[in-house]
Amino acid sequence: MASADPVKAIRRKPIYDVASDEPSARDVAATTPAPASGTTNKPQEEDNNSSQPRRPSPTDRLASQIRGARLALHGAAVKAEDGVNNGMSRFMEAEHSFTSTVASLAPPKQSNEKLLPGGIYVLVAAMAGSIISRNRNILLRFATPILTGVTTAHYVVPRTTENVGNLVWKYEEKFPVVRDNHLRISEGIRHFVETGKAHSQMGLAQAEEKIQEARESVLDYVRKGR
């Protein structure tokens, strides 16, 4: 076998000489470990740990309690404010209703009614009725002052009495039983008054007839005496 050509040997010599102490590519490949399969146990453990819920710290618990206390305090304050507003609204409505009711009871200016002397007259009439019926039974002692006071009010302050009656009737309409009893009593009183008027007219007519008969008798007696 022929010996190698020295010229070719020189041409095949690498440009950079590799140091004898540096590892070659073959040595590096021999010491490199095999690639992993792609599934390891450590990342799975970390994922499992991260998926578990974290326990709240004392600061978190304190913040949650403070938040609940603030919400409860705010709710109580809102309820108290609503209660005060509702109470003031009801009070204002009641005051307006009372003032409008009192104003509606007053007589109109063109009626020339004066409540001060008229009210005194009604009170005196009611007291007189109470004095008159003081020795009677309890029913008359209760009814006589009312009758005398109402009758006097109809003559002294008729417009005010009418307004009071309309107000009482408006409240009675809310209770059918009271309304029906009122109508029944009013009808009975009206019938009693009409009957009394009829009897009084009949009595007056009979009295006039008797007087006329007595006058004619006296005239006949006088004529016969002559």
Per-residue pLDDT of the chain (226 residues; tens, 9 = 90+): 445 555 555 555 555 554 455 556 666 566 666 555 545 555 555 555 555 667 878 888 889 899 999 999 999 999 999 999 999 999 999 999 889 888 888 888 888 888 888 889 999 999 999 898 888 888 888 889 988 998 899 889 888 888 888 888 888 888 888 888 878 888 888 888 888 888 888 988 888 888 988 888 888 877 776 5
CA–CA separation, 71 and 64 (whole Å): 11
CA–CA separation, 21 and 143 (whole Å): 139
CA–CA separation, 211 and 104 (whole Å): 52
CA–CA separation, 115 and 128 (whole Å): 20
* Domain residue extents for the chain: 66-105, 110-174, 175-226
Cα–Cα–Cα angle for 82, 83, 86, rounded to 5 degrees: 85
pLDDT for 94 equals 92
Distances from the Cα of 48 to the Cαs of 39, 41, 54, in angstroms?
15, 11, 12
pLDDT for 2 equals 47
pLDDT for 11 equals 55
Q: Which burial class, exposed, middle or buried, applies to 209 when counting CB atoms under 10 A from its CB (0-12, 13-18, 19+)?
A: exposed
pLDDT for 1 equals 46
Distances from the Cα of 173 to the Cαs of 94, 104, 148, 181, in angstroms?
20, 18, 26, 11
Task: Record the tokens describing residue 31, joined without a space.
Answer: 């010491």
Residue 116 near residue 156, CB atoms below 8 Å: no
Model pTM score:
0.47
Q: Which string of b and e fits 104-139 if b means at least 16 CB within 10 Å?
A: eeebeeeeebeeeebeebbeebbeebbeebeeeeee
pLDDT for 182 equals 79
pLDDT for 53 equals 66
Q: What letter represents residue 126's amino acid?
A: A
